Amino acid sequence: MNRKPRIVIALGGNALGNTLPEQMAAVKITSRAIVDLMDEGYQVVVSHGNGPQVGMINNAMAALSRENPNQPNTPLSVCVAMSQAYIGYDLQNALREELCRRRGRGVPHEDVATVVTQTEVDPDDPAFLHPTKPIGHFMTEEQAHYAERAYGYVMREFPGKGWRRVVASPRPGRIVEINAIRTLVDAGQVVIACGGGGIPVTRQDLGHLRGASAVIDKDFCSCLLAEEVNAEVLIILTAVERVALHYGTPQQQWLDELTPGQAEQYIAEGHFEPGSMLPKVQAAIAFARSKPGRVALITQLEKARQGIRGETGTRIHL
């Protein structure tokens, strides 16, 4: 049976805003860009980051536990789950509204569904030994020591700013709800999944899944999602139109097309910042190598339609 070519689009934080009012405004703009891709003839699966949102939820739940001694601290994995549903609620409604606006109320259009998604990680991943990902608000030294004693947090001092909790960022291993996601995608639904890289879980005895104090890079998880739904294209959205060498210097050079080998050479030369462009390029390389004909595109949200037409962005492929 013929089907539309599939795109997994990985939304960055700038596509969602930092507060509830910002998010409600941002998802309307984001939905227009997503439906643009659908109008180009693609079936779209959506993943997204959750940095500001999960930080806000974590802060709120921590404040509640300090105010009410009978209220236990909320695990980070639960905060990630909350953020997935909270973002998905706004995004799926904005997508429905945009589809309805373009295609008319009486015209059948794709349904939109958010899947609260767990991502299994390896409990022996070296990342757990060296937590590096900051989360939550800055604290004083006294507050940080209390958080270490009361909650078992790993705290790190950021000179000039204060202390902040850091957690592990393990690589994604398996998307637990992938069969449900595939069923919805195959049925023609617009699916929002793997928000924030997925809820990090480790497998215990008897198949029990235990939440982990970690955050998973959403670009690596989006790559895995794209492979699992057999997508032809992975679009990783960022704040710049293309990937660049010598970014921010007089020698800056924009890149249009790269092979995985060329991209790895530029990584070895130190052109891409860890925690910024580096994981995006690494995820793009992995997807491009996963199957002949697959293309990873890195560009801005507002340039996604031009990027899929080959008019802008950085394309990584064999």
Distance CA 58, CA 137 (A): 9
* 48 backbone dihedrals φ, ψ, rounded to 5°: -160, 160
Known catalytic residue: 28? Answer: no
Known catalytic residue: 218? Answer: yes
Of 12, 218, 307, 313, the active-site residue reads 218
User: Count of alpha carbons within 13 Å of 53, Cβ hemisphere only?
Assistant: 28
DSSP H helical ranges for the chain: 20-39, 51-67, 76-103, 141-151, 178-186, 218-228, 260-268, 277-290, 304-308
Known catalytic residue: 133? Answer: yes
Distance CA 199, CA 83 (A): 10
Distance CA 12, CA 76 (A): 20
User: Count of alpha carbons within 13 Å of 172, Cβ hemisphere only?
Assistant: 30
Total length of the chain: 318
Of 12, 13, 17, 197, the active-site residue reads 13
Known catalytic residue: 280? Answer: yes
DSSP string covering 284-306, please? HHHHHHHSTT-EEEEE-GGGHHH
Of 195, 197, 198, 280, the active-site residue reads 280
Known catalytic residue: 303? Answer: no
Contact 45, 9 (CB under 8 A): yes
Of 73, 93, 133, 173, the active-site residue reads 133
DSSP string covering 163-218, please? EEEEEB-PPP-EETTHHHHHHHHHTT-EEE--GGG-EEEEE-GGG-EEE-SB---H
Query: Which residues form the catalytic set?
Result: 13-14, 133, 218, 280
